[in-house]
Amino acid sequence: MRKKELKNMEWVIIVVAIILSVIGLVALFSATQNTNYEEFQKQLIWFGISIIAMVAFMFINYETLVRLSPFFYSAFLILLVAVLFTTPINGASSWFNIGGFSFQPGEFAKIFVILFLTKVMTRMQQKGKQEINKPLKLLIVLAALAVPVLLIIKQPDYGTAIAFLIATALMLFSAGIDKKYVISVILLVVIAMPLLYYYVLPEHAKTRIDIFLNPESDPRGAGYNILQSKLAIGAGGLTGMGLLKGNQTQLGFLYPKTTDFIFSVISEEMGFLVAGFIIILYVVLITKILYIAKTAKDSTGTMVASGVAGILMFHMIENIGMVMGLLPITGVPLPFISYGGSSMITNYIMLGILMNISGKRQKSIFVK
């Protein structure tokens, strides 16, 4: 890799990601003291593997990855089918268990679905900028998206499925989709929401929506987790109760505290200052990724970066929103912070691809 490319890279996104990961490791250390720090130790291993994976992908041309994406896309569709036949964990068939470690194909599929959709859309753009706005062409893009999304919904994992939709929406926007489609989709969603609620969503999904609207309706049942989360966040105050000292965290009232509700642990034990700092870091991270999308040397880089921005933005907003009771609970992890090897490795691989995209920008972009 040339020195020019290394100089062009947006190193800030790596710095921000590592700071978020370190905060997450500190929170995990505190949250796992009653389980001999097992998850904390595993996360340390995943963190090391993630850094190595990120560096490896920094040196792989993103255009090569896009060219090879049909093979990876097909492979992960097979894995998404195979995982449906595994033993459910917490009601979802989303993981392969291998030697004490779990592997979640839905997480890694995010990378290769984004790359494959980029290949599909860029090929259309080569035939004309308005090609993407032809109904038949747009249906091809949506069909390529629908297959993995439907398989993930089957697990069921609605949070990851929504992340795919948000990422695709940003990619289509960056590809120049006509406003009429955007308006039509918004109207369709508004009209379809009541129908989906009453006739499509399974009972557990309806319960989550009901609890989001009124968590006090079942404080000892479905509303228990969110109420405990709110108590933890409120108890933290400005500076927190201190590491290893959070009442809801250490007494076992907060669950699952290492994954879905890790932000509640941080808010309770480290306080509003650290929690607010985390939100600022995410804003910086997503802003930088969108800047990479804007300044990429070609539409391929723009669409890949836009897709990554959509994934990370949704996960950040949904996770923090749900633990505060502002959004329904979907079980999505908080990027770089929540416990989980598949999620962490996936996120760092995406950063590696972003670094490669940013490194290949033209120097003239910065001299104006």
**Domain chopping of the chain, boundaries:** 3-361
In angstroms, the CA 18 to CA 9 distance is 16
**Reported pTM:** 0.92
Bond into 156 cis (ω within 30): yes
Three-state secondary structure call for residue 201? coil
Alpha-carbon distance 349 to 50, whole Å? Answer: 7
CA dihedral 324, 90, 347, 162 (to 10 degrees): -70
Angle between helices 105-125 and 135-154 (to 10 degrees): 180
pLDDT reported for residue 96: 87
3-state class of 98 per DSSP?
A: strand
pLDDT digits (tens, 9 = 90+) for 113-156: 999 999 999 988 877 667 788 888 889 999 999 999 999 999 98
**pLDDT value at position 175?**
85
pLDDT at 364: 41
State pLDDT tens for residues 60-78.
Answer: 999 999 999 999 999 999 9
